[in-house]
Amino acid sequence: MTQPILSVRGLNVRFRGRGGGEVHVVRDVDFELAAGQTLALVGESGSGKSVTSLALMRLLPGEPRCRIGGRVLLEGRDLLYLTEAGMRGVRGNEIAMIFQEPMTSLNPVHRVGEQIAESVRFHKGLGRRDALDRAVELLELVGIPDPLRRAQAFPHEMSGGMRQRVMIAIALACDPKVLIADEPTTALDVTIQAQVLELLRDLQARTGMAMLFITHNLGVVAEIADRVMVMYAGRIVEQAAVDPLFAKPLMPYTRGLLGAVPRLDIFAKEKPPLTSIPGAVPDPAHPPKGCAFNPRCTHRQGGLCDQRTPPLEAAQPGHDVRCLRWREAMEAA
Domains contained in the chain, CATH given: 4-94+176-332 (3.40.50.300)
Judged on CB neighbours under 10 Å (0-12, 13-18, 19+), 317 is exposed
What pLDDT was estimated at residue 199?
Answer: 83
> 3-state DSSP call for residue 184?
coil
| pLDDT at position 159 | 87
DSSP at 91: B
* b/e 193-212 (16+ beta carbons within 10 angstroms → b): bebbbebbeebbeeeebbbb
Its pTM stands at: 0.90
Angle subtended at Cα 52 by Cα 49 and Cα 54, rounded to the nearest 5 degrees: 110
Phi, psi of 77 (to 5 degrees): -90, 130
Tell me the mean pLDDT per 10 residues along the chain, length 333: 86 89 94 94 93 95 93 94 92 90 86 93 91 93 90 92 88 91 79 82 88 89 93 96 93 91 62 82 92 93 91 93 90 72
What is the rounded CA–CA span in Å between residue 130 and residue 117? 9
Instruction: Report the run of H or E that residue 49 belongs to, with start and end.
Output: helix 49-56
Q: Using the 8-state DSSP alphabet, how is residue 225 labeled?
A: -
By CB neighbour count within 10 A (0-12 exposed, 13-18 middle, 19+ buried), where does 129 fall?
A: exposed
What torsion do the CA atoms of 74, 77, 83, 87 make, to the nearest 10 degrees? -20
Main-chain phi, psi angles of 200, to 5 degrees: -65, -40
252 backbone dihedrals φ, ψ, rounded to 5°: -55, -30
At residue 187, the pLDDT reads 64
- What is the pLDDT at residue 200? 86
φ/ψ of 223, rounded to 5, equals: -80, -35
CB 38 within 8 A of CB 225: yes
